[in-house]
Amino acid sequence: MKKFTLCLKISLVSAFCTFLYAFSDPEALEQYTGYLQKTFIDHYDNAQENSQIKRYELNVTNNGFCRYKRYYSNGKTEYFAFKLAKFKDMDYYGTTSSGKLYIHTKSDDVIVQTYKDRGGDVDSMATQIIIPLKNMEAEDLNLIRDNFEKIIKLPPAEVPKAEVKSDD
46-88 pLDDT tens trace: 888 878 888 999 999 988 899 999 999 888 999 999 999 999 9
Q: Which of these, 91, 70, 95, lies nearest to 80 by C-alpha position?
A: 70
Cα–Cα distance for residue pair 15/139, rounded to 1 Å: 40
Residue 24 falls within a domain, yes or no? no
pTM listed for this prediction:
0.75
Residue 13 falls within a domain, yes or no? no
Residue 65 falls within a domain, yes or no? yes
Would you say residue 132 has pLDDT above 90? yes
Query: Bigger pLDDT: 120 or 42?
Result: 42
Would you say residue 164 has pLDDT above 50? no
Would you say residue 122 has pLDDT above 70? yes
- Full domain range(s) for residue 74: 29-153
Q: What percent of the chain has pLDDT over 70?
A: 77
Residue 80 falls within a domain, yes or no? yes
Q: Averaged over 1-22, what is the pLDDT?
A: 63
Cα–Cα distance for residue pair 109/129, rounded to 1 Å: 10
Residue 73 falls within a domain, yes or no? yes
Task: State how many domains the chain has.
Answer: 1
Residue 63 falls within a domain, yes or no? yes
Residue 46 falls within a domain, yes or no? yes
Residue 163 falls within a domain, yes or no? no
What's the confidence (pLDDT) of residue 10? 74
Query: Bigger pLDDT: 165 or 145?
Result: 145
**E strands in the chain:** 53-60, 65-72, 77-83, 87-94, 98-105, 110-115, 122-126, 128-134
What is residue 12's DSSP assignment? H
pLDDT tens digits along 95-109: 999 999 999 999 999
